[in-house]
C-alpha cells in the first residue's frame, strides 16, 4: 500500500512541476523598442510595443508629450504555429503575440524618454521598459542645400487663410532620397491638406498630403540651384504673435558620381505672424468666424409641391481653403424659414471640393400661402475691406397646393352602393348536387419530417455540399504544395535585386536590411513581407542561434548607417548581407504554417 502511495505522490509532483514549467515558458512578456537611438528634430521614428505569449485586450495608450508627438498607426498579429521537419522528424512550434506600431516625432532637441507603457492582457496589467532617444538639432543650411519658408501675409486676422510657401534649393551635383518633411508647431493653424499642383507618386508627404512640388532654376547667393516649391494654405486659430515653423527637411544626401552618402537634417527660417482679432462691433447675427471673400448660391429643382412634400434645396458656398471651415447655414434660425417650412435637424448633406462646399437640405412646406423659398444668408468678415459683409441668395418661387385628405369612402371605392349577393345553397340529387360535411375534408398539411427523409431531398442537399468540400480540399492541397515555394522564390529574387542596388551605392543600408528581413519572413514564417530586428533574431534563433546573432548585428549596423556611417565604404555590409541571405536559404523549410 505504501508503494502505491509513493508512486501517486511522485506522479502528482511531476504533473505540478510540468505545469509550473509550462506556465513559466508561457509567461506574458511586453517590451517597447524604437527604430533608432539617435534622430533629428522633426524626423519620424517607429515605436513598436511587442506582446509575447498573449493577446492584449486593446491597443496600448502612448500619450504625446511636450518633447515628442506619438501617433498610433497599426497592429500586426504575430501568432503562428509552424511545423519544422528534417527528414522524418517533425517538431511543432507555436507562439501567440502581437506588435503595435506608433509614429514618434521628436519636437525638441536633447534627450527624450518615453515612460513605461501599460499593456493589459486578460485584464492583468503589464508594463514595458522605458525607451530613450537622443534628438539632434538640424543645421540651418548647408552650402549645397537650403530650406526656406515664406508667407504672403504677416498680419492676418484670426481665421484668415494665409498662403505658406516652402522652398528647397538643391545644388546640381546633389541628389536626395528617403526625404521626410515636417512643420513644427502646426497645431496652431487650420491647414488645407490637399495640394492643387500635380503630384508624383514618389513624392514625400507634407502636412498629411503628397507634397506636389513645382521646380525651377534660380540663382541664390551667386550659385545656380534647382528650387522645388510647394504651397499650403494655413489659417491661424487665435490672435496674437505666432511663429510659423520651422519646416524641417531630413534626407539622405548623395553627391552624383560618387558612392558617398550621409543623412542630413536642415531647418528653415521661422516667419512671425502678427495675428489680429476681428472687430467686435458690427458683428452680424449668424457670423461663424469666416474671414476672406465668399460667394453663395441656392437652387431648388422641385418648385410645384403640396403642403408637406419634401423640397430638395441645394446651397453652394465658394471661398478660400480650407473650405472645411465653412459650416452649413442654420436655416431654421431665420424666422422667414421657420414660419413656413419644417426641417429635421439632420437633413443636411455636405459635399466638399477644391474651394467649394455644397449643402443639400430637405425642407417641407408647413402651410398654405407659402409662395417662395426665402433667401439664404452668409455672414463673413472681408479682410480686404476691413468690414463685415452679409451676402444672400435670391428667393426661389414656389407653387404650393393644399393637401387632400383621404376619407374612408375613398378607401372603399368610388361608389357607396353595395351590389346584392346570394347565399350559398345546398342541393341534393340531380346534375348540380353538391355534398357537404367534415368527412369530405382532406389533410393537406406539410409533413417536414417526411420531406427531409425523402431520397430526392437528401440527394439534392448533399450534392452541392460534397462538391464544395472537394473543391476546398483541392484548393488547400494546391496552396500547401506551391504557396510556400512561391513565397521563397519571390523573396530571394527581391533580395538579389536589392543587394545589386546596394552594390551600386544606392541606399545600401536600407537595401541590405530589406533583403535580409524579407528572406527571414519567407524562410521562418512562410509569407511575404518583413519583420523587425527583434522578430528576425527570435525566429532565426529557433533554427540557428549563431545565424540569429549575425542577423541582429547586421540590422543594427544598417540602422546606424542612417546617422553618419553611410559615408563609409558599404562593401563589407553588402557582403555580410549576401552571406546571411545564402545561409537563410539553407535553413530547414517550414512544413506547415497557420496564423
CATH class of 145-275: mainly beta
Give me the CATH topology for the region 28-136: Immunoglobulin-like (2.60.40)
User: Which of 467-476, 547-556, 565-574 ranks highest by mean pLDDT?
Assistant: 547-556
User: So what's the pLDDT on residue 489?
Assistant: 85
DSSP SS3 for 83 = strand
User: So what's the pLDDT on residue 442?
Assistant: 62
The per-residue pLDDT of the chain, averaged, comes to 80
452: enclosing H helix or E strand: helix 448-452
What's the rounded Cα separation, in Å, for the pair 534 and 289? 51
Helix and strand totals (H; E) in the chain: 9, 35
Q: Which of 93, 25, 128, 99 minimizes the C-alpha distance to 539? A: 93
**Mean pLDDT, to the nearest integer, of 365-370?**
88
**Mean pLDDT, to the nearest integer, of 305-316?**
91
Q: How confident is the model at residue 28 (pLDDT cuts 50, 70, 90)?
A: very high
Q: How confident is the model at residue 12 (pLDDT cuts 50, 70, 90)?
A: low
User: So what's the pLDDT on residue 271?
Assistant: 95
Give the model confidence (pLDDT) of 48-78 as tens digits: 999 998 889 999 999 988 888 898 999 998 8
The full length of the chain comes to: 595
Question: Would the pLDDT of 288 be above 50?
Answer: yes
DSSP letter (8 states) at residue 196: S
Q: How confident is the model at residue 7 (pLDDT cuts 50, 70, 90)?
A: low
User: So what's the pLDDT on residue 199?
Assistant: 45
Partners of 176 in the β-ladder = 253
Q: What would the grid cell of residue 355 be?
A: 474651394
Q: Choose between 509 and 415: higher pLDDT.
A: 509
User: So what's the pLDDT on residue 147?
Assistant: 92
Q: Whole-angstrom distance between the N-terminal and C-terminal Cα of the chain?
A: 50
- Find the helix packing angle between 571-585 and 455-503, rounded to 10°: 150
**Mean pLDDT, to the nearest integer, of 367-374?**
90
- Predicted TM-score (pTM) of the model is 0.52
- Three-class HEC string of 400-457: EECCCCCCHHHHHCCCCCCCCCCCCCCCCCCCCCCCCCHHHCCCCCCCHHHHHCCHHH
User: So what's the pLDDT on residue 198?
Assistant: 45
Question: Would the pLDDT of 197 be above 50?
Answer: no
User: So what's the pLDDT on residue 24?
Assistant: 44
**Mean pLDDT, to the nearest integer, of 281-289?**
90
**Mean pLDDT, to the nearest integer, of 445-454?**
62
User: Which of 121-130, 169-178, 449-458, 562-571 ranks highest by mean pLDDT?
Assistant: 121-130
What's the rounded Cα separation, in Å, for the pair 296 and 583? 69
User: So what's the pLDDT on residue 37?
Assistant: 86
Q: How confident is the model at residue 345 (pLDDT cuts 50, 70, 90)?
A: low
Choice among 170-184, 224-238, 378-392 with the minimum mean pLDDT: 170-184
Intrachain domains 28-136 and 295-401 with the same fold: yes
573: enclosing H helix or E strand: helix 571-585
What phi and psi, each to the nearest 5 degrees, are found at residue 552? -60, -45
What's the rounded Cα separation, in Å, for the pair 94 and 485? 21
C-alpha torsion angle, residues 471, 477, 478, 483 (rounded to 10): 130
Q: Which of 168, 110, 97, 116 minimizes the C-alpha distance to 136? A: 110
What's the rounded Cα separation, in Å, for the pair 10 and 23? 20
* Domain range list for the chain: 28-136, 145-275, 295-401, 470-590
Q: Which of 135, 11, 133, 113 minimizes the C-alpha distance to 62? A: 113
CA 240 remoteness from chain centre: 34
User: So what's the pLDDT on residue 526?
Assistant: 77
Give me the CATH topology for the region 295-401: Immunoglobulin-like (2.60.40)
User: So what's the pLDDT on residue 589?
Assistant: 63
User: So what's the pLDDT on residue 284?
Assistant: 92
The radius of gyration computed from the CA coordinates of the chain, to the nearest angstrom, equals: 37
User: So what's the pLDDT on residue 201?
Assistant: 46
Q: Choose between 85 and 133: higher pLDDT.
A: 133
Cβ proximity of 542 and 579 under 8 Å? no
**Mean pLDDT, to the nearest integer, of 168-191?**
87
Supply the DSSP string of 505-563, one letter for each residue. TSSHHHHHHHHHHHHHIIIIISSSS---HHHHHHHHHTT-HHHHHHHHHHHHHHHHGGG
Give the model confidence (pLDDT) of 149-159 as tens digits: 999 999 999 99
DSSP letter (8 states) at residue 68: E
Q: How confident is the model at residue 505 (pLDDT cuts 50, 70, 90)?
A: confident
What phi and psi, each to the nearest 5 degrees, are found at residue 287? -70, 125
Partners of 349 in the β-ladder = 360
What's the rounded Cα separation, in Å, for the pair 264 and 280? 48
Cβ proximity of 178 and 246 under 8 Å? no
Question: Would the pLDDT of 278 be above 90?
Answer: yes
Q: How confident is the model at residue 325 (pLDDT cuts 50, 70, 90)?
A: confident
Amino acid at each position: 500500500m505504501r508503494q502505491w502511495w509513493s508512486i501517486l505522490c511522485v506522479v502528482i509532483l511531476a504533473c505540478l512541476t510540468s505545469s509550473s514549467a509550462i506556465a513559466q515558458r508561457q509567461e506574458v512578456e511586453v517590451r517597447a523598442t524604437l527604430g533608432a537611438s539617435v534622430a533629428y528634430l522633426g524626423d519620424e521614428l517607429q515605436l513598436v510595443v511587442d506582446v509575447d505569449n498573449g493577446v492584449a485586450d486593446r491597443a496600448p495608450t502612448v500619450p504625446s508629450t511636450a518633447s515628442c508627438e506619438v501617433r498610433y498607426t497599426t497592429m500586426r498579429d504575430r501568432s503562428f504555429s509552424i511545423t519544422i521537419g528534417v527528414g522524418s522528424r517533425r517538431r511543432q512550434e507555436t507562439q501567440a503575440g502581437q506588435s503595435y506600431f506608433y509614429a514618434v516625432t521628436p519636437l525638441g532637441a536633447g534627450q527624450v524618454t518615453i515612460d513605461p507603457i501599460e499593456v493589459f492582457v486578460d485584464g492583468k496589467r503589464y508594463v514595458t521598459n522605458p525607451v530613450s532617444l537622443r534628438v539632434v538639432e538640424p543645421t540651418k543650411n548647408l552650402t549645397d542645400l537650403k530650406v526656406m519658408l515664406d508667407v504672403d501675409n504677416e498680419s492676418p486676422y484670426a481665421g484668415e487663410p494665409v498662403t505658406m510657401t516652402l522652398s528647397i534649393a538643391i545644388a546640381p551635383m546633389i541628389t536626395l532620397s528617403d526625404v521626410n518633411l515636417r512643420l513644427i508647431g502646426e497645431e496652431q493653424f487650420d491647414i488645407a491638406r490637399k495640394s492643387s499642383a500635380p503630384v508624383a507618386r514618389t513624392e514625400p508627404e507634407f502636412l498629411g498630403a503628397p507634397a506636389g512640388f513645382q521646380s525651377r532654376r534660380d540663382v541664390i547667393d551667386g550659385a545656380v540651384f534647382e528650387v522645388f516649391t510647394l504651397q499650403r494654405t494655413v489659417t491661424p486659430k487665435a490672435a496674437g504673435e505666432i511663429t510659423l515653423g520651422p519646416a524641417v527637411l531630413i534626407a539622405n544626401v548623395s553627391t552624383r558620381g560618387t558612392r558617398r552618402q550621409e543623412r542630413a537634417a536642415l531647418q528653415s527660417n521661422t516667419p512671425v505672424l502678427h495675428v489680429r482679432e476681428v472687430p467686435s462691433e458690427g458683428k452680424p447675427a449668424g457670423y461663424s468666424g469666416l474671414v476672406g471673400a465668399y460667394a453663395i448660391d441656392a437652387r431648388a429643382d422641385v418648385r410645384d409641391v403640396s403642403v408637406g412634400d419634401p423640397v430638395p434645396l441645394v446651397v453652394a458656398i465658394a471661398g478660400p481653403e480650407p473650405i472645411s471651415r465653412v459650416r452649413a447655414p442654420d436655416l431654421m434660425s431665420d424666422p422667414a424659414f421657420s414660419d413656413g417650412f419644417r426641417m429635421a435637424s439632420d437633413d443636411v448633406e455636405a459635399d466638399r471640393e477644391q474651394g467649394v462646399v455644397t449643402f443639400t437640405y430637405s425642407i417641407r412646406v408647413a402651410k398654405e400661402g407659402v409662395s417662395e423659398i426665402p433667401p439664404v444668408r452668409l455672414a463673413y468678415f472681408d479682410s480686404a475691406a476691413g468690414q463685415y459683409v452679409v451676402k444672400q441668395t435670391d428667393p426661389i418661387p414656389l407653387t404650393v397646393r393644399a393637401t387632400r385628405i383621404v376619407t374612408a369612402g375613398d378607401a372603399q371605392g368610388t361608389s357607396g352602393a353595395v351590389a346584392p349577393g346570394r347565399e350559398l345553397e345546398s342541393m341534393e340529387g340531380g346534375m348540380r348536387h353538391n355534398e357537404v360535411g367534415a368527412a369530405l375534408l382532406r389533410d393537406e398539411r406539410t409533413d417536414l419530417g417526411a420531406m427531409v427523409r425523402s431520397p430526392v431531398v437528401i440527394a439534392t442537399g448533399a450534392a452541392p455540399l460534397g462538391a464544395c468540400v472537394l473543391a476546398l480540399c483541392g484548393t488547400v492541397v494546391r496552396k500547401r504544395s506551391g504557396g510556400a515555394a512561391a513565397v521563397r522564390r519571390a523573396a530571394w529574387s527581391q533580395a538579389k535585386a536589392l543587394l545589386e542596388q546596394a552594390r551600386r551605392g544606392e541606399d545600401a543600408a536600407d537595401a541590405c536590411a530589406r533583403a535580409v528581413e524579407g528572406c527571414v519572413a519567407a524562410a521562418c514564417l512562410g509569407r511575404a513581407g518583413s519583420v523587425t530586428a527583434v522578430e528576425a533574431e527570435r525566429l532565426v534563433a529557433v533554427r540557428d542561434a549563431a545565424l540569429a546573432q549575425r542577423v541582429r548585428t547586421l540590422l543594427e549596423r544598417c540602422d546606424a548607417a542612417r546617422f553618419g556611417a553611410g559615408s563609409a565604404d558599404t562593401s563589407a555590409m553588402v557582403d555580410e548581407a549576401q552571406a546571411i541571405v545564402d545561409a537563410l536559404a539553407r535553413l530547414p523549410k517550414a512544413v506547415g504554417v497557420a496564423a
